[in-house]
Amino acid sequence: MKNLKQHIYRPFAISVAIGTAAVFAALIISAAVVYMMQLPVEICGAFGVISLAFGCLTAGYVLGRKKQRRGLKQGFLCGVALFLLCLFGSLIFGSVSAAGFFGRLAVCVTFGAVGGVIGVNKQVYK
């Protein structure tokens, strides 16, 4: 069981945690940009989607680099995990619409899978 945790669960949990941290960092930066440039509030939704895409890309990339195989599948799973975190957050703090649900799902899965493929195909220098 220890070997299973080390090779399957730990890299996945680490990559999802890094992806979540990347989402929060991108949200803080986008909030600072909106505040400093005095942009309209309506643009915050677009910044939120961009931040979510960046976090999913980062999580997929990190897991792809760690596993070095099955990047599409691993990135897809990272995207689904971050989508579920986003879904639970929106259920607790806001409301969920059908368009927002499927839009976020598409963004998370797509960018997570792309990050996984990029991470697997990144050359390892020795």
CA distance 50 to 66: 24
Assess whether pLDDT exceeds 70 at residue 72.
yes
Contacts of 37 (CB under 8 A, 6+ apart): none
Tokens 């600072």 sit at which residue? Answer: 32
CA angle 118, 120, 126 (to 5 degrees): 115
- pLDDT at residue number 113: 92
Are the C-beta atoms of residues 119 and 60 closer than 8 Å to each other?
A: yes
Residue 81: phi and psi, rounded to 5, are: -65, -45
CA distance 36 to 88: 30
Alpha helices in the chain (DSSP H): 2-4, 10-37, 44-67, 71-93, 98-121
pLDDT at 5 over 60: no
Q: What is the pTM of this model?
A: 0.86
Mean pLDDT score across all residues of the chain: 87
pLDDT attached to residue 37: 92
